[in-house]
Amino acid sequence: MKVLIRNIIFTLKKSFIPFAVNIVIHSMYGILPVLAAYLWKILIDYIQRYMDGSEADTCKVLLYVFIYCASYGVSVALPVAFELIDTLLRNSIKRVAQTQIHNKMDKIPYQQFEDAKTNDYIVNSSQTMVNGIFMYFSLNVTYFISDLISLISSMILLSSYAAELLLVYPILILPVLGYGRVTKLNTQTKLDLTPLRRKKNGYEEYVTDLQYAKDTRVLNCADYFLKKRTEILNSLIEKELKSEKKVMLLQLITSAASALAYGVVLAMGIFLMYTGRITVAEYASMISLVGVVNHVFNRILDEIKNIPAEKLEIESGFKLLDMEEGNYHLSGISADQELSVDHVSFRYPLGDRDILSDINLQIHNGQIAAFVGENGAGKSTLAKVILGLYEPTQGKVCYDHKDISGGVRAEVFALSSAAFEDYNKYALTVEENIALADEINPENLQKAVQLTGADKIILKFDAKEKAFLGKKYGGADLSGGEWQKLALARGYYKESRIVILDEPTASLDPIAEYNMYRQFKEICKDKIGIIITHRLPAASIADYIYYINKGKITEEGTHTLLINQNGEYAKIYALQKELFV
């Protein structure tokens, strides 16, 4: 009930006028079938008197026929009207729900998305809201009002014929009872199968998606992925069939019971007419009303069938909107002087160990720091904490002595840019891939492509920066190194104060790598720069180096200092230098 009330309040706040008009039209639609049945009774009565000779006014007969036909015509036309209003209401609520859910997703702490169970929950909830399932509960309220008006008015009319006719309702409603519980179980089963569906879709993608096609064929592993996909699909089908069988069985029983109940009601009417309790006209009206009541109960049956699913999905949507947000209220954050990390530790939600432990560092404007260490040491995680994507479990990250954990996200993110190792390839034009915005600053774009060498990519295409990329969608494809240059340009395009390069040269040739680091050093003369790499010779361009091992800073200093200390950094540097000479 709380979910229903909250849904109605949401609808009234966001779409009051369409919702109110919808209720008025549905109320009219609820009374019209009963009015038509009453007019049908009057018309038959009058025709009988006309045939018996007790009434001789032909115009009056024709008037009754006209009124009946008009009421029938209105009842046929009204569904077209409320279909239009339903569409307006549906679209109105959907727009609001989409806006709210997208705004909410932007405020949920980033690390929530990296926990598998939490991610399943967020994806389910967001799809519920965005796909508009949310709004059907509000629409069902208007249908329920229409049904309630039909039931009450038909009860009044039938009882005026004969009190015994009120037995129609318990007889016809019996097949409806008990249906919701099994449907709720079926819906819950479908929601529970989300992780399996995600895995199945993943295996299908490994075989069919262009991104994986090369490896799948060269490594001859398509059969392996298809086998895994088949195993999961079989499990999905088995569980879904188990749930669907229960629903189908109940539908069969309900249909049979409904037909039996309808027959009992018709027989009861014939008996009342035979015993003189009701007239032929009243029996004809009763048949019409029984059709109305049966239709209303069947519609209620459909609504009951959908309510458990809608309730679960709406609950998910509201729970997502109720999820705790970061306390992002502090404004006026800048990064003109320094970046500091003070006793920061971090672990993932539901994690059992710290990924980062008691990290302390300070980087001043105009300096470049390097985070180095083996894969999995925590370097990229530390970068995400510094960027404000992850919130520290303990400690704080400060820009110009202000803790960014309470900072307005838009301000925090505007101060930084990053080029990650696992960069994204967007199916957009070259310039859109770099700017990721509607309005593109030509000066910033030109500067970014020149600094990264992406200007040579643009020259390849007749459409220049307007060339569409993404082979999957009919656009041009780029090499790994070219895509990485675009990702670097994306990081440089923003006029940010903090620039982070996370393993930025994985796909670059040695000359491009050398130019990239030289340009990065030039860029960071008036910025705070961070390089993340496991290739220690590249770290030597940094002003200060932090060697990270198992989430802790175990060595720090300038390149020369760390070499002279002859610690882990010096040993790994010597090995890598020997390997690449």
SS3 114: helix
Q: Which of 45, 43, 83, 82 is nearest to 65 (CA)?
A: 43
Q: Which residues does 506 contact at the CB level (< 8 Å), separation at least 6?
A: 421, 484
The β-bridge partners of 160 are none
Q: Which of 289, 293, 268, 34 is nearest to 175 (CA)?
A: 293
Strands of the 402-403 sheet, one edge to the other: 356-364, 338-346, 394-399, 402-403
Q: Exposure pattern of 443-468 as b/e (b: 16+ CB <10 Å)?
A: ebbebbbebbbbbebbeeeeeebebb
Q: For residues 418 and 494, is the Cβ–Cβ distance under 8 A? A: no
Angle between helices 222-274 and 280-322 (to 10 degrees): 150
Q: How far is CA 547 from the centre of its chain?
A: 40
SS3 of 344-397: the string is EEECCCCCCCCCEEEEEEEEECCCEEEEECCCCCCHHHHHHHHHCCCCCCEEEE
Q: What is the pLDDT of residue 186?
A: 65
Q: Which helix (H) or strand (E) holds 498?
A: strand 498-502
User: Where does residue 286 rank: exposed (0-12), middle (13-18), buried (19+ CB within 10 A)?
Assistant: buried
Q: What does the DSSP 8-state code read for residue 468?
A: B
Q: What is the pLDDT along the chain (581 residues), one digit of tens a residue?
A: 666 677 667 766 767 777 777 788 778 888 888 888 888 888 888 778 777 776 656 777 777 778 878 877 777 777 777 677 777 777 777 777 777 777 777 777 777 776 666 666 666 666 665 555 555 556 677 778 888 898 899 899 988 988 888 887 887 777 666 555 656 666 667 777 777 888 888 888 888 876 676 677 666 777 888 888 898 889 888 888 887 777 777 777 777 877 888 788 888 889 988 888 888 888 888 888 888 887 787 777 676 666 666 666 677 677 777 777 766 777 788 888 999 999 999 988 777 889 999 999 999 999 999 999 888 889 999 999 999 888 899 999 999 999 988 777 778 888 988 888 778 888 889 999 898 887 889 999 998 888 888 888 899 888 999 999 887 777 888 888 888 888 888 888 888 899 998 887 766 777 777 778 888 888 888 899 999 988 887 788 899 999 999 999 999 999 999 999 999 999 988 888 776 55
Q: What is the pLDDT of residue 219?
A: 66
**Longest Cα separation, the chain:** 124
Rounded CA gap, 533 and 546, in Å?
11
